[in-house]
Amino acid sequence: MSKVIVITGASAGIGAVLAKMLAARGEQLMLAARSAKELNQLARSCGRDTFAFTTDVTRRQDVNRLRDEALRTFDHVDVWINNAGRGITRNVLELTDDDIDQMISINVKSALYGMQAIIPHFQECGTGHLINVSSMLGRIPFATFRSAYNASKSALNALTANLRMDLRAEYPNIHVSLVMPGAVSTGFAGNALHAPEDTSPVPFGQTPEQVALAMIDLIDNPRAEVYTNPTVQLEQVKRYFSDVALFEEDMRR
């Protein structure tokens, strides 16, 4: 049976690839992003069960309208994916107030708005699946030029875990999941705040298709956390938390 799935940040990158893959297997989709032209083109390419709704996820009222539009169109939502996000290319001592505000607004508050918009619907239904797309850098902040991005994703990790614990006892059929990609070959680096004009390709990066496949498996088999490249990422996590100083020295070298 097909699922109704809402995806934010769907006009490009991982979100767009995920939308195409989900549409191909017959899911019903509501896609959201600020880029209306690209979003509408994507929705048309996905087929008649995919709809676009132009949304600025940094505005709570926009996120609430997205939820209302999804419910008006489909009557219910099975899966809500907070995928919108943006990076930064600036070290800690260079950060401005505006840098911090943008990273929190785009990467944390937008997901919070999504959680607060859709979870009451899931509670009414007694079931549902919320997926927050974070980053490996929210757990191991070894790319220091991502600074405030790393911090914002750490905050998102904590909010996700707290929400899951809040719901666990009374709503065991509402799943709250965190997805942590590593390096991914998309336009993310070039779209980061303060990104240099000449952005090199991502070394050893996963393709967005690989990340999307991991997310589809998560939809089919809900669990708390997913590293999209577990072979590499889990080893790094173990090394980092077993000896932070040694890990940082290795990174410096």
Amino acid letter, residue 30: M
Active site residue 227: no
DSSP-assigned states of every residue in 5-72: EEEES-SSHHHHHHHHHHHHTT-EEEEEES-HHHHHHHHHHH-TTEEEEE--TTSHHHHHHHHHHHHH
**Catalytic one among 113, 149, 227, 240?**
149
- Could you tell me the two tokens for 27? 């899911």
Annotate 63-87 with b (16+ C-beta within 10 A) or e (fewer): bebbbebbbeebeebbbbbbbbbbb
Q: What angle do CA 35, 25, 188 make, to 5 degrees?
A: 35
**Could you say which DSSP state residue 231 is in?**
H
Residues noted as catalytic: 149
